[in-house]
Structure 1
Amino acid sequence: MIDVAVRDDVAVITLARPEKLNALTSAMRADLATAVREHGRHTRGIVVTGTGRAFSAGEDIHQAVGRSLVEEVETFHDMTRAVLETTVPVVGAVNGLAVGGAAEWTLCFDARIGTPAAEYFLPENHIGLSISNASSYLLPRLVGARALRLVLDSARVSAEEALALGLLDEIVAPERLVEAAIARIHHWSAPGAATAVHLALLRPSPAEVERAFAVETEAAGRVEASGIAQAGMSRFVNRARG
């Protein structure tokens, strides 16, 4: 479930499934892409945040077991594509833990502001899944050669570590998080600013992003065909039930 409210001409999209740490079902992913496309045309910018102690636990693995991993990955890709199609700034307000596909989604945002409780966690490698959201291109663009370690280690990255790496641009108090993100958008989109032009010039190359989508979809097909993806997701679900 997602909530959307327009505040000071900025669309605030809130992941609102706190009882599941805002884990993203396929329906939520489609709704997010739709909301970004809609509000990316009619507002000064978009803020994305979460409810509760997590930004998002990423893919809802309980729902994904038995489903086509390729189809699941492609819905994540469309969330990233939707952000990069906008002509307004998109800022992540990372209120807590950001996992997997949700963490990867933030990589295409124009800025990421976190609280001290923010964490990044890319667990796919040790589950037997593959990364998505063009993160094979976007993560090295942000953190350089350290991208490989972040993916292979599957370790949690604290807010301070994320700031040092470039995953976060700023850390603010929790009560200021959304306001700070809105203020950043207002500063960037002041009347007379050439913001749309510079977003087009400086955002990740659409061609490179689409190339990354293609190789990531192919990689998802490989881990699915090998059986390690479904085995890893089943282990995760059974461990959670236990």
Structure 2
Amino acid sequence: MKYQVKDGVAWVILDRVERLNAFDEKSWEELGEKMRRANGDNNVKVVVLTGEGRAFSAGDDIYAMLELNSVEDAKRFFNTLFSAVESMMELEKPLICAVNGLAYGGGCEILLFCDIVIANKDSKFSIPEAKLGLIPPMAISVGHRLWGRAVTRLAITSDEITAEEAKQIGIVDYIVDDVVRKAEETSKKIIASVDLDSIRAIKRWSKADKEKVRRAIMELALLSLTSSAKRRMNDFKESHDKSKERKLK
């Protein structure tokens, strides 16, 4: 995961391109570290989270989740996930998400903790955990507050939606051709014109219910160990592997 600061903006860049920027335990740990680093740096006024390649993030790495074989394994993985989410919730600076492609599962859910979401026209959004015998913990615990009833529909149907549809239900704020340029422009505008003490107060009062999120994530931890979830995740893995093999031939 890359981290760079330029002109008062900390750029956190997901770079597991070969996994469509899916999160394994190390990735969640790094995300939390980068967010806390930005929060503690007085030179950073705005944080931008984006991804390399054709995805913002495909969510949790199914290959990594299949390796969770005990309650201790699952709790360790998902406590790391919660720590990363907590770091976003506790961030005192504006967080802009620049969605450059696919935003699935956890990669879609973390947009709930971004203050401004910018997407390109080709971005796709989905909350498909139910297909894998899992739940989308952030979406079902605090998603209604921002995205309304539509979040339940997306979680139940696992439908993929376009950037325009995502904008209609509040997942996306701006749809542009160049998400990096828009993120830069928005960051400069905030830094030049908005009082940072005001921003800290705004973020403090608009913070999501941390305990509710934690409980939902812990329920996901237990669900990830069920036989149904393991079977569905393994089916997904095998289907994905076969698809890759066909593309290589």
Normalization by structure 1: what TM-score? 0.90
CA pair 166-179 structure 1, distance change in 2 beyond 3 A? same
Deviation at 1:192, TM superposition (A): 6.2
Mapped to 1, the partners of 2:235 and 2:4 lie a distance apart of: 38
CA pair 240-165 structure 1, distance change in 2 beyond 3 A? same
- Which of 78, 89, 93 does residue 88 from structure 1 map onto? 93
Deviates more, 1:180-189 or 1:27-36: 180-189
- Which of 139, 142, 145 does residue 143 from structure 2 map onto? 139
SS at match of 1:102: helix
**Structure 2: tracts of 5 or more residues without a match:** 243-249
**Aligned position for 2:180:** 178
Tell me which amino acid in the other structure corresponds to 1:108. Answer: F
State the identity as a percent: 28
After TM superposition, the structure 1 = structure 2 runs for residues 122-137 of structure 1, keeping only pairs within 5 Å, are: 122-132=127-137, 134-137=138-141
CA pair 152-70 structure 1, distance change in 2 beyond 3 A? farther
Deviations 1:210-240 (A, max 9, x none): 223113312431x245422211111111111
**Structure 1: tracts of 5 or more residues without a match:** none
- Determine if contact 1:130/1:220 at 8 Å carries over to the other structure: no
Deviations 1:143-190 (A, max 9, x none): 21111101001011100000111000001113xx12312332333343
**Aligned position for 1:199:** 203
**Aligned position for 2:154:** 150
Tell me which amino acid in the other structure corresponds to 1:18. Answer: V
CA pair 69-233 structure 1, distance change in 2 beyond 3 A? farther
- Determine if contact 1:123/1:151 at 8 Å carries over to the other structure: yes
**Aligned position for 1:120:** 125
Deviation at 1:202, TM superposition (A): 2.3
- For these two proteins, the number of residue pairs brought into alignment is 234
**Aligned position for 2:84:** 79
**Aligned position for 2:245:** none
4+ residue runs over 4 A deviation: none
SS at match of 1:190: helix
Deviations 1:71-95 (A, max 9, x none): 3333222221001111111110000
Deviates more, 1:52-61 or 1:70-79: 70-79
- Determine if contact 1:13/1:46 at 8 Å carries over to the other structure: yes
Mapped to 2, the partners of 1:202 and 1:165 lie a distance apart of: 19
- Determine if contact 2:93/2:200 at 8 Å carries over to the other structure: yes
- Determine if contact 1:66/1:230 at 8 Å carries over to the other structure: no
Normalization by structure 2: what TM-score? 0.88
Mapped to 2, the partners of 1:65 and 1:114 lie a distance apart of: 30
